[in-house]
Amino acid sequence: MSDSSSDKPTSASTDAVAETGRAKPRDSGDVMWEEVPTNSDKTGAEIIAELVPRLPKKPGVYRMMNRAGDVLYVGKAKNLKNRVQNYARGVGHGGNRTARMIAETAHMEFVTTHTETEALLLEANLIKRLRPRFNVLMRDDKSFPYILLSGDHEAPGLFKHRGARSRKGAFFGPFANAGAVNTTINALQRIFLIRTCTDSFYANRTRPCLLHQIKRCSAPCTGEVSIEEYSELVKQAKDFLSGKSQEVKTQYASRMQAASQALDFETAAVYRDRLSALSHVQSHQGINPQTITEADVFAVHQEGGQFCIQVFFFRTGQNWGNRAYFPRADKSFDEAEVLEAFLGQFYDDKPVPRLVLLSHDIAQSELLAEALSAKAGHRVSVNKPQRGEKRDIIKQVAQNAREALGRKMAESATQTKLLGGLQEVFGLEKPPRRIEVYDNSHIMGTNAVGAMIVAGAEGFVKNSYRKFNIKNEDLTPGDDFGMMREVFTRRFARLLKEHGTEIDAKSGDDDTLPPWPDLVLIDGGAGQLSAVRGVMKELGLDGKINLVGVAKGPDRDAGRERFFMPGKPDFSLPLRDPTLYFIQRLRDEAHRFAIGTHRARRKKEMVKNPLDEIEGIGPARKRAILHHFGSAKSASRAAVEDLMAVEGVSEAMARRIYDHFQKS
């Protein structure tokens, strides 16, 4: 749903506690929370019971927290007092999940809202931000790609876009993946001949590019088509993406007929080809609903205590792709409960269509529809279809959910077996839940970087990858041991600062990735391992984390790696051992990430501008200087008075630029 800053409750700070002796409101993010004072010696139902008399009978959101201050659960209520009173009874909650949650609760915080709808929006936002252990959590929250038809240029372009939709123009989406966006953009190029080049490329053309030659662009950059004619093509593309594809087809059909009657067969052929391309796009969308113009379709499937939610996106009567999610939820939740909790988090930061179709009836569908309508600014319908084409589509989406969960469970079983193999090979107490792999990359010591990749029960965890730009200027160029020492010092000193020395106590839940690694793989042999052990001794971590050096075999042959562990003789694994293949995959992923990071840094250095070294010179001021003088070299030879002639450059800034280049 929307960002909490736009949907936050108004003045909730004084309503949450009704009696004297209330706690001071505590600002937490975007809302004001009331922390009710209680007897700190009690926990569970007893401490919750102490809160009940001081709570209002108003809608709001509550947070249950343990003694360490970790948020256990975020919930919303139409009547805060009644909801918390249910927890205070301590019995009749139907499952040990709620009982465990109540037993661990040491204090609670509350915020009131004007309506239950506001509470629902705020609850979803907080769950995504705080990720409480006892809530249903949406684990894969990658951003969706969109198509942008730019609106800040005389000749609008067609672009793939991710992230904040801040650029001026029209956004169409979401698409399930980048492939669906690329396919649609390619089709739109063939049909409407809209440019896809950057504005700077457009501004510097003197003749049409290859895309014009292969009939993928009308080339407004060189005047092959007038801006007025190009604007008409842009309007047609916008109509098509807005769901008016039938109107566009009708226009093309009539223009083709008129050109044919006028014996202008060349123009008629152009419209014929565009009609053919339009029909091709609409006939290659997988599911082709006749009764759905704009909708998101959700289906949930549960098996073996795991859940999969499949979502299909339909826009302009076309299927814009699908994506599978695997939310984290306790086994005590049923499918409808998981789906309901998931929907609130899903739409926290995504546009809402006019129709949301579900595979299960959810308890608060009317409230959810009201909340989504308030967020979207238009009426949103949320329902489970009972008959017809919509019900058939739900069945197909549900089938996709079943198949996706089956594949996921098969992959998890394989991953679990491989982690068990690591336990056996390296003599670990239990299968590792978090594996970290380290590698360095540089060319003769230049642009040196360290890289860390992370893997666990779910495979590679890319949002936990880290890169380290080597900062120690005293290192001898190419000193791999020194680089490894710097990387490990920075990484584990920060871990100690953020999570303390109780490694086992901070290991997280069984189904979450812990902050501390169980196993660390180092790209290198005995030398690298010795350097790392020295760092661990300095930090007081020697012997607390399993360290393994992975050295390449003779002639760097894959399959002949040697493994080095503290206090043990080095060894190799049989050539066809599945665990060896798994370690090679981990090491190769670390290589890929390290080399990619190094190349990106090297590329940045190659295009580095001398003006970047001057304090106070940002992108806008640098652009103005380069436009005025043509190059940084010309600016370096300019006098102070000449520099002052540049827009945005004061006398003090001109003197600073002049002095910098004179010293250089």
E-assigned strand segments in 304-445 = 306-315, 318-325, 355-358, 381-383, 434-443
Convert the pLDDT of each residue in 37-74 to its tens digit: 555 566 678 888 888 888 888 899 999 988 888 899 99
* Within a domain: 211: no
Residues 296 and 605: their CA atoms lie apart, in Å, by: 45
DSSP-assigned beta bridge partners for residue 114: none
Convert the pLDDT of each residue in 483-495 to its tens digit: 899 999 999 999 9
* Mean of pLDDT values over 425-445: 88
Mean pLDDT of the residues in the chain: 81
Residue 454 parent element (H or E): strand 446-456
Residues 368 and 501 in one domain: no
Residues 441 and 587 in one domain: yes
Q: Does residue 29 have a pLDDT over 50?
A: no
Identify the domain boundary among 557, 572, 604. 604
* Three-state DSSP class for residue 92: coil
Let me know: does 523 contact 591? Beta carbons within 8 Å. Answer: yes
Residues 458 and 592 in one domain: yes
* Mean of pLDDT values over 406-422: 88
Residues 541 and 503 in one domain: yes
What tokens appear for 131 in the block?
């990720």
Sequence-distant (6+) residues with CB within 8 A of 190 are 215, 216, 273, 274, 277
Q: What is the pLDDT of residue 19?
A: 32
Residue 460 parent element (H or E): strand 459-460
What tokens appear for 658 in the block?
């002049």
Q: What is the pLDDT of residue 175?
A: 80
Count Cβ atoms below 10 Å from residue 143 Cβ, excluding itself: 12
* Within a domain: 509: yes
* Within a domain: 369: yes
Residues 43 and 104 in one domain: yes
Convert the pLDDT of each residue in 157-201 to its tens digit: 989 888 777 788 888 878 877 877 887 788 788 878 889 888 888
Q: Does residue 374 have a pLDDT over 80?
A: yes
* Domain CATH for 645: 1.10.150.20
Residues 346 and 492 in one domain: no
Would you list the DSSP string of 472-533? -TTSPTT-HHHHHHHHHHHHHHHHHHHH-S-TTTTS--TTS--SS-SEEEEES-HHHHHHHH
Residues 471 and 551 in one domain: yes
* Within a domain: 77: yes
Q: What is the pLDDT of residue 294?
A: 84
Identify the domain boundary among 110, 130, 150. 130
Residues 397 and 466 in one domain: no
Q: Does residue 151 have a pLDDT over 80?
A: yes
For the chain, the domain total comes to: 4
* Within a domain: 26: yes
Residues 532 and 633 in one domain: no
Q: Does residue 330 have a pLDDT over 60?
A: yes
- The more confident residue out of 652 and 556 is 652
* Domain CATH for 78: 3.40.1440.10
What tokens appear for 617 in the block?
């010179």
Let me know: does 309 contact 343? Beta carbons within 8 Å. Answer: no
* Mean of pLDDT values over 285-301: 76
Burial class (CB in 10 A: 0-12, 13-18, 19+), 372: buried
Residue 17's domain comprises 4-130
Let me know: does 657 contact 614? Beta carbons within 8 Å. Answer: yes
* Within a domain: 75: yes
Residues 563 and 427: their CA atoms lie apart, in Å, by: 13
Let me know: does 100 contact 331? Beta carbons within 8 Å. Answer: no
Q: What is the pLDDT of residue 421?
A: 92
Identify the domain boundary among 580, 604, 628. 604
- The more confident residue out of 209 and 411 is 209
Would you list the DSSP string of 124-165? HHHHHHH--TTS-B----PPPPEEEEE-SSSS--EEEE-S--
Of the given ranges (141-145, 183-187, 552-556), which has the lowest mean pLDDT? 552-556
Residues 614 and 566 in one domain: no
- pLDDT category at 14 given cuts 50, 70, 90 is very low
Residues 572 and 616 in one domain: no
* Domain CATH for 507: 3.30.420.340
CA angle 595, 600, 605 (to 5 degrees): 125
CA angle 232, 237, 238 (to 5 degrees): 95
* Within a domain: 145: no
Sequence-distant (6+) residues with CB within 8 A of 225 are 193, 218, 219, 233
Residues 646 and 598 in one domain: no
Q: Mutual orientation of helices 116-130 and 365-376 as an angle, nearest 10°?
A: 80
* Within a domain: 18: yes
Q: What is the pLDDT of residue 504?
A: 57
Buried b (16+ CB within 10 A) or exposed e, 588-619: ebbbebbeebbeebeeeeeeeebbeebeebee
- pLDDT category at 279 given cuts 50, 70, 90 is low
